[in-house]
Amino acid sequence: MSNIHQEETFEANPARVYQALVDATEFAKFSGAPATGTAAEGGSFSLFGGHITGRQIELVPNRLVVQAWRAKTWPAGVYSIARFELQGDGSKTRVVFDHDGFPADMKDHLTAGWISNYWEPMHKLLG
């Protein structure tokens, strides 16, 4: 299995970044794609019109989001772990992101996908 580590700083406070990551309505705003789900531990979610599904494993408001995360093209039962640590710095938030346990042949695709489908649109929405 492979790992992706990325760090991004947003011109928004941790509460705003947290909401963008866990609230389906906010996620749909920045991604421009359908999203459903609940922002509660154990809650399920569906992103990008069902292409990504998963569960909220651990949520520490404004500090940490850990998700069991999978693409619909992966073999049944295969889930990875996406971990977003939010570090507040005044009016900014640094996101320390780690993605583990996905199929190794998906690393390049996912590495680019986090940038184009998460970080770039989040920068447009949040600054």
Q: What total number of domains does the chain contain? A: 1
**CATH code at 117?**
3.30.530.20
Sequence-distant (6+) residues with CB within 8 A of 92 are 9, 10, 11, 12, 13
19-59 pLDDT, tens per residue?
A: 999 999 999 999 999 999 999 999 999 999 999 999 999 99
State the pLDDT confidence band at 2, using cuts at 50, 70 and 90.
confident
Convert 72-88 to b/e letters by CB count within 10 Å (16 or more is b): eeeeeeebbbbbbebee
Residues 52 and 61: their CA atoms lie apart, in Å, by: 22
Global confidence as pTM: 0.95
Q: 10 Å Cβ neighbour count for 107?
A: 15
Quote the domain boundaries for residue 98: 2-126
Tell whether the model's pLDDT for residue 1 goes beyond 70.
Answer: no
Q: How far is CA 88 from the centre of its chain?
A: 17
pLDDT tens-digit profile of 88-120?
A: 988 999 999 999 999 999 999 999 999 999 999
